[in-house]
Amino acid sequence: YFRREVGEVMSAFVRALVRGRPFETFAARLAWLIGLGTIPIVIGGLAFEPFILTSARSLQVIAGALIGLALLLLVAERMSARRRELEDVTARDAVLVGIAQALALIPGASRSGTTITAGLFLGFTREAAARFSFLLSIPSVTLSGLYELYAIRHQLAGAYSLPLFAATLVAGVSGYLAIGFLLRYLRTHTTYLFIVYRLALGVLLLVLVKLGLLH
Span 19-49, pLDDT tens digits? 999 898 999 999 999 999 999 999 999 999 8
* pLDDT given for residue 96 in this prediction: 98
DSSP codes joined into one string, 50-65: HHHHTGGGSHHHHHHH
Q: Give the pLDDT confidence score for residue 158 in this predicted structure.
A: 62
Tens-place pLDDT, residues 3-20: 788 899 999 999 999 999
Q: What is the pTM of this model?
A: 0.90
Task: Report pLDDT digits (tens) over 59-99.
Answer: 999 999 999 999 999 999 999 999 999 999 999 999 999 99
What Rg, from alpha-carbon coordinates, does the chain have?
19
Helix, strand or coil, per DSSP, at residue 84: strand
| pLDDT number for residue 60 | 94
Q: Is the pLDDT reported for residue 152 higher than 90?
A: no
